[in-house]
Amino acid sequence: MMRLILLTGPVCASLSGLALGAVLDWCLVQFLDFEFFTGADTAGGAAPATAKKSKKSHSASKDKAKKSLERHELIESTIASVKAPLLELYNSAPVKSIRKLGAVAAMVVLLVGSKKYGDEFWVYSHQLAEQLSSPSIMFHAQLKDGSTITVDDYRQAYWWLRDNTPEDARVMAWWDYGYQISGIANRTTIADGNTWNHEHIATLGRCLTAPEKEAHRIVRHLADYVLIWTGGGGDDLAKSPHMARIGNSVYSDICPGDPTCSQFGFYQGGQPTPMMEESLLYKLHSHLYRPGVQVDPDRFKEVYRSKYGKVRIYQVLKVSKESKAWVADPANRVCDAPGSWYCVGQYPPALNKLIARQKNFAQLEDFNSGGGNEEYTREYMARMNGEAPPPKTSKSPKKKTSKSIKAQNPTTEQEPPKIKRRSKKWAGERPWRNTEETSLMFELIEKNDVKTLEQWLSTNPDAVHIRSGDGRGPLWWAKEYGRTEIIDLFKLYKVRTDLGDAQGNLP
């Protein structure tokens, strides 16, 4: 936004000045003793030049030139016949008086408007200029007691990296902060705004959105530290949908069948979805902030937390020394020419299996690629607009089976995704407790929010077995509210109907 203002501001100001100047010129002309050109001699003045040109033409084109001249004279005479009376009316005494009154009114509007709105705009412009001139990593804020503070968390976090980590330390963070980590902390970052490799950004997104254990298996080969923006506002949780969607565009197994990764987020009330709750990003962001959220001390160790909680830095434990040494070896650098500054680099061999699962994805902005995955893009845009996803295209027509028909027309009779589930015995022995999970389940059933329930159960099918303190659970509540569609959904996920509540009553 700042770049756009800097680039277009002078142009917009100049064009606005031209428009206002044109209006002012017209107003001033109305008070001068001046009559506009009537255009009476237009047709006559144009003919000789064309006629001379036609005389110089080759004899073979005389007829063609003559016809062209006649058409030209006809057009000019027609325009003159229409224009002349209009100009005569425009220059008549009554219209001149009206024009002068209009000019006075326009000048009054300009003077009053410039005083009223011009002063406000001048003040606003200077306030905005002062805001845009301030460093973006420092800002003023107010505490609850009304006192003003300077939040310097970001710069201090980068200086901590500079002063407390080895010079060869590698820092993983979302690519937005890459420039700052490189320029202020003077440390190697995994990605920044100059990273044009979409697949690499997707790998970074996969690391942050994957479950903690799976993410650590990747991160230990790439980075020594992980930096997370926290504290609300535009922090990493706010950016998390983009991380999941970008990752899923290359690794389709992150959110199978859902290019928008709607299952990675939060329910109404701020309760995280199961996928979000298990992710490395959520663990690092909410470590010891939310009840029950804690990173695995054998995989990550918090080493820095900024004064106002805007930045948290974790050390990656059990970093692969082999991978770090392999990447640092100049022999393993891939450059476009010997000694060149442009080297795309390589992943360590330990990640070959992961990288082999990448699906190259040409960005919409990559005009040179000539396309991309059109089917993926269509489904993505349809879901973003709240529309039903378009049918899958196939290279060769296939005979429709009952299974394929169900896939195209999903209903509660369709088989749930194959996800590892607990036993029926475990469901019967599950403790009865009033938790945020039971409260959320009750709220979704009360609101008849089938879509959110489907997303929840697709990633955590055992949620159908949760029980509140009185022994009642989802099936009881669905029966009470008469939610037949939700009842069918619970049956699809094998909810037990033979378990009684505290009074021995079956659902």
Three-state SS sequence of 158-202 = HHHHHHHCCCCCEEECCHHHHHHHHHHHCCEECCCCCCCCHHHHH
**Which residues make Cβ contacts (< 8 Å) with residue 99, sequence separation at least 6?**
30
The confidence band for 46, taking pLDDT boundaries of 50, 70 and 90, is very low
Residue 250 in this model has a pLDDT that exceeds 60: yes
Closest Cα partner for 463 from 488, 480, 442, 446?
A: 442
Order of strands across the sheet with 188-189?
A: 188-189, 170-172, 225-229, 311-316, 300-305
Q: Higher confidence at residue 203 or residue 252?
A: 203
Q: What is the pLDDT of residue 57?
A: 46
Of 21-25, 83-87, 263-267, 350-354, the poorest mean pLDDT is in: 83-87
| Terminal C-alpha separation, the chain | 57
Cα–Cα distance measured from residue 222 to residue 316, given in angstroms and rounded to the nearest whole number:
10
pTM above 0.85, yes or no: no
Q: What is the pLDDT of residue 418?
A: 45
Three-state SS sequence of 7-71 = HHHHHHHHHHHHHHHHHHHHHHHCCCCCCCCCCCCHHHHHHHHHHHHHHHCCHHHHHHHHHHHHH
Given a contact cutoff of 8 angstroms between Cβ atoms, the answer to whether 209 and 281 are in contact is yes
The confidence band for 271, taking pLDDT boundaries of 50, 70 and 90, is confident
Determine the average pLDDT of the residues in 26-44. 62
**Which residues make Cβ contacts (< 8 Å) with residue 38, sequence separation at least 6?**
83, 84, 87, 88, 91
Determine the average pLDDT of the residues in 409-438. 58
Instruction: Give pLDDT tens digits for 292-327.
Output: 899 999 999 999 999 999 999 999 999 999 999 999
Q: Higher confidence at residue 381 or residue 395?
A: 381
Q: Higher confidence at residue 353 or residue 451?
A: 353
Instruction: Give pLDDT tens digits for 105-144.
Output: 988 888 888 888 888 888 888 888 877 776 678 888 877 7
Q: Percentage of the chain with pLDDT > 70?
A: 81
Cα–Cα distance measured from residue 279 to residue 504, given in angstroms and rounded to the nearest whole number:
38
How high does pLDDT run on average in the chain? 81
Q: What is the pLDDT of residue 166?
A: 97
Q: What is the pLDDT of residue 161?
A: 98
Count the alpha carbons within 13 Å of 358 in the hemisphere toward its beta carbon. 21
Determine the average pLDDT of the residues in 486-506. 87
Q: What is the pLDDT of residue 422?
A: 52
Closest Cα partner for 380 from 295, 258, 201?
A: 258
Q: Look at domain 151-355 and name its CATH class.
A: alpha beta
Q: What is the pLDDT of residue 371?
A: 52
Residue 245 in this model has a pLDDT that exceeds 50: yes
Q: What is the pLDDT of residue 34?
A: 58
Cα–Cα distance measured from residue 245 to residue 249, given in angstroms and rounded to the nearest whole number:
6
Q: What is the pLDDT of residue 494?
A: 83
Determine the average pLDDT of the residues in 399-406. 38
Give the strand pairing for 170-172 and 225-229: parallel
Instruction: Give pLDDT tens digits for 10-20.
Output: 999 899 999 98
Q: What is the pLDDT of residue 61?
A: 61
Given a contact cutoff of 8 angstroms between Cβ atoms, the answer to whether 70 and 25 are in contact is no
Q: Please report, for the chain, the start and end positions of each structural domain, with discontinuous segments joined by +.
A: 2-55+63-132, 151-355, 424-492
Q: What is the pLDDT of residue 259?
A: 86
Q: What is the pLDDT of residue 36?
A: 52
> Bridge partners of 305?
312
Amino acid at 154: Y
Q: What is the pLDDT of residue 264?
A: 93
Given a contact cutoff of 8 angstroms between Cβ atoms, the answer to whether 254 and 244 are in contact is yes
CA 98 vs. chain centroid, Å, equals 54
Residue with tokens 């968390």: 153
Q: Is 272 helix (H, G, I), strand (E, B) or coil?
A: strand
Residue 473 in this model has a pLDDT that exceeds 60: yes
Q: Higher confidence at residue 60 or residue 471?
A: 471
DSSP track, 99-112? HHHHHHHHHHHHHH
Task: Give the pair of three-digit tokens for residue 235.
Answer: 């922090």
Q: What is the pLDDT of residue 45?
A: 45
The confidence band for 393, taking pLDDT boundaries of 50, 70 and 90, is low
The confidence band for 183, taking pLDDT boundaries of 50, 70 and 90, is very high
Q: Is 29 helix (H, G, I), strand (E, B) or coil?
A: helix
Q: What is the pLDDT of residue 218?
A: 97
Q: What is the pLDDT of residue 174?
A: 94
Task: Give the pair of three-digit tokens for residue 449.
Answer: 């929010």
Cα–Cα distance measured from residue 212 to residue 222, given in angstroms and rounded to the nearest whole number:
15
Of 227-231, 336-340, 353-357, the poorest mean pLDDT is in: 336-340
Q: What is the pLDDT of residue 277?
A: 94
Q: Higher confidence at residue 337 or residue 170?
A: 170
